[in-house]
């Protein structure tokens, strides 16, 4: 199962609210060669690390594609750019954030462009784990083999994620 994280906490001039932007991003994945086969609902989450930024809207989709991980990342980065994402300071507020969270059981480290699979902080993020649990309740982390529900049970108390 290939999992993509979707998030936003700034309005888009073209798409409107962060949730509307995330919805439009899901629709943009198909034409980018990434066929959505399952999607979670949307969740609201406090910024991680904690800051005074607006809360995020987050979700996860499962996709099918013949592309390798680097090809998926190229497509995701292009969609972000098409939506007006400008990269700057890490953890800054953003119009759209698309992350390749997992690619089946594949484990990749130190790839060109910094690509790491599974996403290195996936197991620490309620805004990723809760949506994964919706679409893949039996999913296990490819490195630790922990169940998604077990990872959720040990999230730090400062993780605030709720249905949108």
Q: Whole-prediction pTM value?
A: 0.95
Q: Residues 1-42: pLDDT tens digits?
A: 999 999 999 999 999 999 999 999 999 999 999 999 999 999
Domain layout of the chain by residue ranges: 2-163
* pLDDT tens digits for range 119-157: 999 999 999 999 999 999 999 999 999 999 999 999 988
Beta bridge partners of 7: 58, 97
Q: Does the domain spanning 2-163 belong to CATH 3.30.70.560? A: yes
What are the tens digits of pLDDT across the range 48-104?
A: 777 888 999 999 999 999 999 999 999 999 999 999 988 777 777 899 999 999 999
């Amino acid at each position: 199962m290939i999992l993509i994280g979707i998030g936003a906490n700034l309005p888009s001039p073209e798409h409107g609210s962060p949730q509307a932007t995330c919805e439009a991003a899901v629709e943009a994945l198909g034409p980018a060669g990434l066929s959505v086969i399952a999607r979670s609902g949307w969740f609201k989450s406090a910024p991680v690390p904690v800051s005074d930024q607006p809360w995020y809207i987050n979700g996860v989709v499962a996709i099918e594609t013949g592309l390798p991980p680097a090809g998926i990342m190229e497509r995701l980065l292009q969609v972000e750019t098409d939506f007006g994402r400008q990269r700057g300071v890490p953890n800054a507020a953003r119009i759209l954030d698309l992350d390749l969270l997992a690619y089946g059981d594949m484990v990749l480290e130190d790839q060109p462009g910094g690509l790491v699979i599974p996403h290195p902080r996936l197991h620490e993020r309620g805004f990723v784990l809760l949506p994964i649990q919706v679409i893949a309740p039996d999913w296990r982390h490819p490195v630790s083999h922990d169940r998604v529900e077990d990872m959720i049970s040990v999230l730090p108390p400062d993780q605030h994620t709720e249905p949108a």
